[in-house]
Amino acid sequence: MTESTVRIGLVLPDVMGTYGDGGNAVVLRQRLRLRGYDAEIVEITLSDPVPDSLDIYTLGGAEDSAQRLATRHLQRYPGLQEAAAKGVPVLAICAAIQVLGQWYETSAGERVDGVGLFDVTTAPQVKRAIGEVTTTPVLDGLTAPLTGFENHRGGTKLGGDAAPLARVTRGIGNGVGDGLEGVVQGSVLGTYLHGPALARNPELADFLLCRALGVTELPPLDLPEVEQLRRERLRA
């Protein structure tokens, strides 16, 4: 690793990373390498403090008990919060939205204090949200429909400081009946989309990379298999 290596933090893959969410870090690394950047994934496990010095961070989904362990670790080592305060991009998938929120309630009805990066709260809903999701982004800088697979019982309500990522056109999304999907607050972006989300939504991957690199655009990549996956998922 050199000074100029772009360092991608894969946060707590030992407890958070259902449905291959760790693939988001691999997609970021590959899209950087194809453009000539040096890029590495730094895995931060429950045995490590969380560094604040990385260029971008990703966190995956998790079941309730794993989610609790992650919450406690992130509160004990606040490197992620310090990085976010500096404007470093963070991608949070599914349970990670809940962990980074104000509080969430587990399926057993226990309320757990979150990390507080998102002004959101999450409570279990009567019906589990499961299946394919398609959305129209509302975040400036994104134009292509987003697709993914959701599987969560928690429904997430946005507070005044949190903005939605997208509007749902198919599926459930945040799950509190407002038709919204995901959350954006400062440099931290959350979505319920598994997939992994960045393999299925390359525009979102490049959006995050531009923020990590401090550039306004990146040269396009000609990846026919990625385009084919997108077409298939939009038709599915």
Q: Which residues are part of the catalytic machinery?
A: 94, 194
SS3 annotation, the chain: CCCCCEEEEEECCCCCCHHHCCHHHHHHHHHHHCCCCCEEEEEECCCCCCCCCCCEEEECCCCHHHHHHHHHHHHHCCHHHHHHHCCCCEEEECHHHHHHCCEEECCCCCEEECCCCCCEEEEEEEEEEEEEEEEEECCCCCCCCEEEEEEEEEEEEECCCCECCEEEEECCCCCCCCCEECEEECCEEEECCECCHHHHCHHHHHHHHHHHHCCCCCCCCCCHHHHHHHHHHHHC
Question: Of 61, 89, 173, 202, which lies in the binding site for ligand GLN, with binding defined by CB under 6 A?
Answer: 61
Q: Which stretch binds ligand GLN (CB under 6 A): 25-33, 55-63, 160-168, 198-206?
A: 55-63
Does 151 interact with ligand GLN (rule: CB under 6 A)? yes
Does 125 interact with ligand GLN (rule: CB under 6 A)? no
Smallest distance from ligand GLN to CB 18, Å = 5
Number of residues that bind ligand GLN (CB under 6 A): 12
Question: Of 1, 33, 63, 177, which lies in the binding site for ligand GLN, with binding defined by CB under 6 A?
Answer: 63
Does 13 interact with ligand GLN (rule: CB under 6 A)? no
Nearer to ligand GLN (CB atom), residue 63 or residue 232: 63
Nearer to ligand GLN (CB atom), residue 15 or residue 95: 95
Check the annotation: does 128 bind a ligand. Answer: yes
Does 23 interact with ligand GLN (rule: CB under 6 A)? no
Binding residues for substrate: 128
